[in-house]
Structure 1
Amino acid sequence: MHTFQPYPIDKMEFNPFTKIGKEWALVSAGDKTRCNTMTVSWGGVGVLWGKNVVFIFIRDSRYTKEFLDNGDLFSLSFLNEDYRDALNYCGSHSGRGEEDKFAAAGLTKAFRHDIPYPDEANLVFLCRKMAAVPVSEDSFTDSTLMDKWYSDHDMHMMYVGEIVEVTAR
């Protein structure tokens, strides 16, 4: 296991457009008995309701969504480019029916404050869920988005999580 240290959030140099949109991240949720992880490339960071937050989008059909819906804690983890195959695996395999999706992706499951994350990450946001906001068909003001991204009607839920700790190595 790697040694992660708390990292002051106000010292971070973080480009969400690169980190989330291009490099991707893993969202992990659950507990030590059952958990799952999945790749995300939609989301961001900022300040909301007086808190430092992340927001991520998970489709209704995704297995990890069940863990987010049933728990209060999750992680958003970033890995270096050496783990692109693991990110691809976690984005293309459900985990439903797998004994350990982390291991299947070549990752080591770790926990901090009972929140799962991949030990291979170099930056982890440990989060407490604050809101789950459904993206619905009637919420679009640009009708082309529905056709482009939701032709199958597999909608997203937007989760907002307070960043309770940032760890890095």
Structure 2
Amino acid sequence: MEKVDFNQVLNNYNEVLPKGVFLTTKNNGEINTMTMGWGTAGFIWNQNILMAPVRKSRHTHKLIENSKYFTVSVPLNGQLKKELQFCGTKSGRDYNKIEELNLELAEVEESEVPIIKGNDLHFICKIKYQQDMLKENLDQDVLEKMYPDKDMHTFYYGEVAAVYRE
């Protein structure tokens, strides 16, 4: 694996995000990953930032709330579709997704949260800010379409501590 510059890979990340990426976190020794299909990447507070939305009902939410880091592993070439589908439809409350899918983890020096090998890009993110969505601040059309059960997201803004390319 090689370390690369965030700005060199930003376009690839934004192009593949709607197809799904792996958001991984760890707390008290428990590692969980989920499929993330939207978010943002950019420059805030003079830092490269990835924003990862996690619904409050998700098992990942419980873990990331007590973590300082998350990682995002990105398959640029269409690999791991079955794994992304599973991680997007099954809960870490009911499955150990890492074991169930035989996902191979790799440690990184910047964080205790591992990356998922077999992906093309890996972002290691240190949480700098988090914000719960407030339904009263959301446009009514978006609220009705995307949140009929009022299962809102928390947005986690992570400073990109490192980017790796496999």
Q: Could you say whether these structures have the same fold, taking a TM-score greater than 0.5 normalized by the shorter chain as the test? A: yes
**SS of the residue 2:83 aligns to:** helix
CA gap of 1:111–1:93, structure 2 versus 1, over 3 A, is same
Q: Is the 8 A contact 1:86 1:106 kept in 2?
A: no
Provide the rounded CA distance (Å) in 2 between the counterparts of 1:28 and 1:13.
19
Alignment: residue pair count: 163
After superposition, give the CA deviation of every residue in 1:52-86 in whole Å (9 maximum; x if it has no partner).
00001110011111121101011011023121110
**SS of the residue 1:70 aligns to:** coil
CA gap of 1:137–1:13, structure 2 versus 1, over 3 A, is closer
Query: Offset of 1:112 from its aligned partner?
Result: 1.1
Provide the rounded CA distance (Å) in 2 between the counterparts of 1:168 and 1:160.
21
Match of 1:50 in 2: 46
Provide the rounded CA distance (Å) in 1 between the counterparts of 2:57 and 2:10.
34
Q: Tell me whether 1:65 sits opposite 2:93 in the alignment.
A: no
Aligned-residue identity in percent: 26
5+ residue gaps in structure 1? none
Map of 1:4-153 to 2, 5 A cutoff? 4-12=1-9, 14-21=11-18, 23-30=19-26, 33-79=29-75, 80-98=77-95, 100-113=96-109, 114-140=112-138, 142-153=139-150
Q: Is the 8 A contact 1:32 1:116 kept in 2?
A: no
5+ residue gaps in structure 2? none
After superposition, give the CA deviation of every residue in 1:3-60 in whole Å (9 maximum; x if it has no partner).
x221122333524442112x21110000582110000011010001110000011100
Which TM-score applies when normalising by structure 2?
A: 0.91
Provide the rounded CA distance (Å) in 1 between the counterparts of 2:12 and 2:120.
15
CA gap of 1:53–1:128, structure 2 versus 1, over 3 A, is same
Query: Offset of 1:96 from its aligned partner?
Result: 1.1
Provide the rounded CA distance (Å) in 1 between the counterparts of 2:92 and 2:101.
10
Q: RMSD across aligned C-alpha pairs, in angstroms?
A: 1.6
Which TM-score applies when normalising by structure 1?
A: 0.89
CA gap of 1:75–1:42, structure 2 versus 1, over 3 A, is same
Provide the rounded CA distance (Å) in 2 between the counterparts of 1:121 and 1:31.
22
Q: Is the 8 A contact 1:16 1:44 kept in 2?
A: no
